[in-house]
Amino acid sequence: MTPQELKAFCLEFNASVEEFPFGPETSVFKVLGKMFALSTLDARPLTVNLKCDPDDAVRLREEYAAIAPGWHMNKRHWNTVTVSGVPRRLLRELIEDSYDLVVAGLPRAERLRLDRA
């Protein structure tokens, strides 16, 4: 997945936006003000920080060398994924799971508005 494809996929989700709270080089993808993905899109190798269920996070780290505890994040809930080191389908699933985990923490009315009850 290229940086442009990563950005486009993150922005496909309902109410997702790209912001730059940490400076112009770091894209932060949010849903209703809550971060679900973070990436320096011009970095090599390309990596993305994604929220993850803690049990799944441990399993994924054991299974894939390209998945590590979240860099500068709560390592229990975030993984850093080297994009080129995981299958494209898995990367898309991890991004969607991250979005869904963040949405699940939103108030019910906001979840319903996003059509993600």
DSSP state of 103: H
pTM, whole model, 2 decimals?
0.92
Kindly give the confidence (pLDDT) of every residue in the chain, 117 residues in length, as a single tens digit, with 9 standing for 90 and above.
999 999 999 999 999 999 999 999 999 999 999 999 999 999 999 999 999 999 999 999 999 999 999 888 888 899 999 999 999 999 999 999 999 999 999 998 898 888 754
Q: What is the DSSP string of 45-110?
A: S-EEEEE--HHHHHHHHHH-TTEEEPTTS-TTTEEEEEGGGS-HHHHHHHHHHHHHHHHHTS-HHH
